[in-house]
Amino acid sequence: MRLFRAFAGLAIVCLAQMLLGQHLPAVARRCDLFSVYVVFIALTRPQRPAMLIGSGAGLAQDALTGAVLGINGFKKTLLAYLVGTLGSLFMLNHTVPRFGILFASALFDPLAELGLSLAMGQHYVFPAPGDLLMLGVGNGLLGLAAFWVAARLP
């Protein structure tokens, strides 16, 4: 049931990301709802379901954005694992560590994609630092908002 709810949440994230991309592309460039969702799940769920949802979220993102199928699945799976591992090692229940994790996830995403692209012999244009900063801040704020809303849901 919890897994079903998690996948239902993933569907909502997909819909939201699509709507943002269509109607508010400037906002969509400054936040990655999939990463935020994966970090949220990894911090609130056990590691294994978090990895499954992370992989599903990444594949859904690949399908929606037209990226190479599997590349976001790989990144999000790894992200879920790393965040889950960090969550089991450190106390990440507070706002600042959560913001840090969300910010770091925004940096992790292009770094992982760069590595994968190099491994596959593909070209990859690394985002400008300013864009990365904006994305990290956006992810952090959005993630904190998600945690705040989730804490108030029944």
The nearer residue to other proteins, 36 or 116, going by C-beta atoms, is 116
Residue 119: both structure tokens together: 């491994």
Q: What's the farthest any 2 CA atoms get from each other in the chain?
A: 48
Which spans of this chain sit near other proteins (rule: CB under 8 A)?
47-48, 51-52, 55, 58-59, 68-71, 73-74, 77-78, 81, 84, 116, 120-122
Tell me how far, at minimum, the Cβ of 149 lies from other proteins, in Å.
28
The nearer residue to other proteins, 50 or 101, going by C-beta atoms, is 50
The nearer residue to other proteins, 20 or 65, going by C-beta atoms, is 65
Tell me how far, at minimum, the Cβ of 152 lies from other proteins, in Å.
30
Tell me how far, at minimum, the Cβ of 69 lies from other proteins, in Å.
5
Tell me how far, at minimum, the Cβ of 18 lies from other proteins, in Å.
21
The nearer residue to other proteins, 34 or 74, going by C-beta atoms, is 74
57: burial class by Cβ within 10 Å (0-12, 13-18, 19+)?
A: buried
Tell me how far, at minimum, the Cβ of 121 lies from other proteins, in Å.
7
Of 86, 90, 96, residue with least CA distance to 39: 86
Read out DSSP for 30-99?
T--HHHHHHHHHHHHS-HHHHHHHHHHHHHHHHHHHT--TTHHHHHHHHHHHHHHHHHHHS---SHHHHH
The nearer residue to other proteins, 2 or 48, going by C-beta atoms, is 48
